[in-house]
Copies of this chain bind each other. A is one copy, B any other.
Amino acid sequence: MTVDAESDLRIDAARLWRSLMDLARIGETPLGGVRRITLTDLDRQGRDLVVEWFRAAGLEVRMDPIGNIFGRRAGRDPSRPPVVAGSHIDTQPSGGKFDGAYGVLAGLEVVRTLNDRGVRTDAPIEVAAWTNEEGSRFTPVMMGSGVFAGAFSLEHALARTDIDGASVGGELARIGYAGSAPLGTPVGAYFEAHIEQGPILEETRNVIGVVTGALGQRWFDVTVTGMNAHAGPTPMELRRDALLAASRIVGEVHRIALTEAPHGRGTVGFMQVEPNSRNVVPGVARFSVDFRHPEDTGLRSMEEKLRAACARVEGECNVTIRTEEVVYFPPCRFDAQCIAAVRAGAQAAGYPSLEIVSGAGHDAVYVARVAPTAMIFVPCKDGVSHNELEDAKPADLAAGCNVLLHAMLSRAGV
């Protein structure tokens, strides 16, 4: 195949869209979203359909012990590790049609396009569907890719239970996806196409996000302890108001993120007050802090500023503040050559593109620990995701899939 012929290669946008809509019917919600929670019967139906499509496209299907599904298209050189495209098909409880499903079906569309045009590659091509990326039923999140990359053990993952006591291992066996293929097999390169889940591409009118890495994350649980008091008879100066103290920290978390612009993020998403009665000065406030930053030094600086703010507010409000780190994801920088392949694919097709850092975690962040990796973002409407209203344009999804096609070909060799 000549270089010209390769650059003319285009995926079938209508077929990609049709597959997305067909898969979205499994677990569809009245508001147009999808509820297909990991390792449920609906997840099994989704998996069954994807496996059927894989086989119809001539892929050799295998499952590993954590239920990751791989579909392999042979290359000329069976000794080369595969170039893999993937993502996940499980959704949030109130999820959308594109988060995850797009990355898997874009990989499948690449294979179908290669089949249509009879394109052979040097390295094998694989499409991967990772188990339980969302983490809404079983934690940790990004479970399948995490086990694959050795971030935590298979045994740990299989033993995790949901709120009803069902285990990952038991549910995998029940739905027939506890495979026996080897875990953590070599990957030559990994590409994940995904909706951005944020507003930047749409705001800047770009079609392709060339994702250079992912923000590191440090999550904290914070507990403020003051003292319950009757809101009427207790003078302001004698109060130990836990919510007042918590509110000051909420403001500090925001301020700290602004000092780390443009990539620093600080969020308090969870807040619980005790006794939570309108005429009682709150004695306890619990809340979460979510810091994200592209550099570990930045994350550490944010934590130091948080601790300093807590110490100051303890004095101001006569309360005690306990801070516990509960999650740490180091910042992730994707592979320079994989990033270049994505950038070149966008430029060759003439899509306006922007280098972007992923604010969210993705399976690619774990896979990047064991293989050269990059991601491709496409815009989603109003930046909305993890929501039944999640939406994306067929043309943008097709553009991302074309970039995926060319990035994979450039790494696999044609």
Contact = CB atoms under 8 A, between A and B. Distances in A.
Interface string A226-267: 001111111110100101101110110010011001101111
Given A232-B360, A247-B251, A265-B236, A276 B281 contact: no
Copies of this chain, complex-wide, total: 2
Nearest to A234: B198
Contact of A273 (B215, B271, B278, B383): B271
Contact of A251 (B219, B238, B248): B248
Given A232-B358, A244-B250, A254-B236, A270 B269 contact: no
Given A199-B238, A271-B276, A288-B278, A254 B262 contact: no
A235 to B, nearest CB: 7
A232 B269 contact: no
Interface string A268-294: 111111011111111000001010100
A309 interface: no
Contacts of A282: 268-269, 271
Given A238-B203, A251-B248, A233 B358 contact: yes
A254 B238 CA distance: 13
A244 B243 CA distance: 13
A270 B200 CA distance: 35
The 5 closest A-B pairs by CB, nearest first: A198-B233, A232-B359, A233-B359, A278-B288, A232-B360
B270 A277 contact: yes
Interface string A196-217: 1111100100000000000101
A251 B243 CA distance: 9
B361 A228 contact: no
B280 A234 contact: no
B271 A243 contact: yes
A309 to B, nearest CB: 13
Contacts of A243: 250, 268-269, 271
Nearest to A232: B359
A233 B276 contact: no
Contacts of A225: none
Contacts of A373: none
A290 B269 contact: no
13 contacts: A200-B233, A219-B278, A231-B267, A231-B359, A232-B358, A234-B383, A235-B265, A236-B261, A236-B264, A236-B265, A241-B267, A248-B251, A270-B278
Contact of A254 (B196, B241, B250): B241
A269 B279 contact: yes
A254 B244 contact: yes
